Structure 1
Amino acid sequence: MAWSILYSLVFAQLVFLAKCKHNVNLLRRTGISIAHDGEVELPKKHHRHQAKHIGNNHVKKLKKHHTVSQLKVNEIKEIPNCRVEYTCDAHRTRSFGDYARKHIAVYTYNIGSYEGGMRNEDVPCVPSNVDAFLFLDDDTKQRSDSNALNLWKKQGWQVKSISLQAGSEFVTGARLTSKLLKFTPPTWLVNGEWEWLVEFDGNVVLDLHTLGSFLDKYVSKPLLLLDWSYHEDCGDDGFQCFSRELNDMLRTRRKYIEDSKENIEAWERKLAKEHEGISGTRKYTPPYYYETRIILRNLEHERSSEVTQAFRKTYEKCHEIQRDQFLVPYFLWHANLSFDTEALPMRYLADSVGMCMVGTRVGRN
């Protein structure tokens, strides 16, 4: 009788543990969690970044399982407009607690006076753990109201001058200068004392107080970029979104790429052959397509120098092609950085670091 009772208890415990393990696995497979404020949180490590560790068939199964949850979380289709000033008031600063764990450099720029000069609103405050730099060419600086520049300085920004690059046959000097800053910034920024280097376009705003704690989550990543798929789901293959955006620009936004149209069409043919595996090179199947309006680089990562090299190649190709988004996935792929690069959903960046768009932009380089 005693052995019978003992056997029943052991069997019941094994059944209970098996059920618990099953439930934990279900939670893990969902890939999302609920934050303390009731908001849905995305996982720190997205499933496609595991592709170098698991087979392609498993990646496809994971993608199919996660798609519904991902789309529900990331259902906003535009980057939100800025509605709140990221100010320097003491109460707001204290509310972020110990935000100074990361030493970060951030920079943005206005080249070619495409906004007529610097704006005097939506200028984020610079906290003590951040060094912030605003790059201006001489023409933009002269067109900027002194009150606007003084506001940027008051908010903690250091204004830096930059000379315009000579344009190429296909790309203007102002646009090339923007690409130079975006992908090959001054060496003192890349080789300085900072742990992270954060770049964003002149019409993008981030809440700089939130960056330290946010970047703490991604110390294992050399590079963070904005996932383009908030426009349209790319499936498992970023090449599909590259092709869709390229062809849409050729049809409806040709003024932005007209000067390098033939080069862009040749670039698409080249990538299509590599994507189909008929070019004699490694088959081109990038997991993501990116928007490059924000770039977060981990300068302490062991692969940081490889990111620098891939970006240098991107900038060189920018002399022939006006749209850098057509280029970045390709050079990251051939540097074997695609699966180490984190592609962050737009909604996640808006919620986590307050990413928003200002409404003052009236042109583009």
Structure 2
Amino acid sequence: MLAVARDVTHRYVDPLAQVWLEAARRIGLAVERSAEVYAATDGRGRLAIGDDATLDADDSLAQMIFHELCHSLVEGEPAFARPDWGMDNTGPDHDWREHACLRVQWLLAGRHGLRALLAPTTEFRAFWSQLGGDVLADRSDASVQAAITGVSRADRTPWAPALGDALAATAQIAQVAARFAAPEPASPEPGRARSLWREVVAPPAPHPTGLPAGDAAGTCGSCAWRTGARCRQAGAKVDPAWPACERFEAALDCQTCGACCRAAYHSVEVSRRDPVVKAQPALIVDRGSYLEIRRTGDRCAALDGGELDHGRIARYRCTIYDDRPRTCRDFTIGSTHCLTARRRVGLSL
């Protein structure tokens, strides 16, 4: 057949690539393809992703952009102004920050049945592959706390609504494409990779409260946020037999938290007649019209612990627990104020 000269006036773009290129643009990133990198940000709004020849067969531009956006969720909005989100691939904090990113990726993709399609393909794939159940259960793991903060940011600007819209659109495209995926042969050729479209699953139904469904083995009846017949997280009545939602927490431990004693609140005021004034005079600051407990940085000076060591956070301890002021004695674990404090420091969704 003879070639016929013609003017090419349009170009084809893969649907998933189109979705995620536009999502990145709305969030504030211009995506460029390059044979010189795998994935890198320049701190000036440019995200470079390897070209097709650079990537593996199970990579996709959509997954690569999504992964980088999960990094941005963990590191926070200021990280947009830092090359590679401010991460140092050789530093001691690299692994747990990467793990935090993957926990965010696992949760957000899971809401839409996209964990297989949008799975990471880096050297941290082994960590991803062992994720399962409640990936936020261990609150003494620095990557868990960072992931909770990251997931919480997904509902705020600049990520919302673009990120959620992109995930929903990807799920719609995936459900249609999966119906047209060719069945796998009964005896596949050695080394033949399976189609990712065959791995697409239906998005999970929301929890009866309307919150995202969870993967924890517990129920509303065993959740720390149920008080009587109501759930503090959902602000609604719950059936104790309902399965856990994404915000499930089996138990609250003050010594892995310390939220109310640190950045969640900026001051602990005490009465002049509170016994702590005489028992711990070195910790009392007189502001004229009121007294408060002295602070060290963003935390109560009486709080010990919280050091980060190889991705683990040391347990907290009140050094004046027996003399603690009434304000602290009246603070109730599992209360609305407790939930607020934990959310502020990234311990609860």
- TM-score with structure 2 setting the length: 0.23
- TM-score with structure 1 setting the length: 0.23
Tell which has more relative contact order, 1 or 2 (C-alpha 8 A, sep 6+): 1
Larger radius of gyration: 2
